[in-house]
Amino acid sequence: MNDMTETALIVVASRGLGLGLVGAYAKLGWRVIGTVRGVTATGLHALADATKDRVRVEMVDITMQEQVAALRERLAGERLDLLFVNAGISNGEG
């Protein structure tokens, strides 16, 4: 890919809205970095496998400051054109 490819970071992209956004941006030709919270394979992993180098999976739990700092280090030098933080809270049900 050339240096002009737009890059999006979509935080919390393992399913639902986040996964849909990753797919939509990848389809538009963007390079997309999507995050997951754990190591279990998700829909994002399947999408990354299907789209070759267009989608990259990173792991981060945004409630853990040390993980956010580690993600920042891994992304150092990356130019991001879009940041979408798709996060919510759970009351422990469902």
Can you list the domains of the chain with their CATH numbers? Answer: 7-85 (3.40.50.720)
- pLDDT at residue 4 in the model: 77
pLDDT at 1 over 60: no
**Range with the lowest mean pLDDT among 5-9, 32-36, 89-93?**
89-93
Q: pTM for the complete prediction?
A: 0.87
**Residue 89: count of CB within 10 angstroms of its CB:** 6
**pLDDT tens per residue, range 30-88:** 999 999 998 889 999 999 999 988 999 999 999 899 999 999 999 999 999 999 998 76
- pLDDT at residue 47 in the model: 95
**Confidence label for 29 from pLDDT (cuts 50, 70 and 90):** very high
| Residue 81: DSSP 8-state | S
Q: What is the rounded CA–CA span in Å between residue 88 and residue 53?
A: 28
- pLDDT at residue 18 in the model: 93
What are the helix (H) ranges across 1-94? Answer: 16-27, 43-50, 65-74
Q: What is the rounded CA–CA span in Å between residue 80 and residue 68?
A: 16
CB 51 within 8 A of CB 30: no
| Residue 31 φ/ψ, nearest 5 degrees | -90, 130
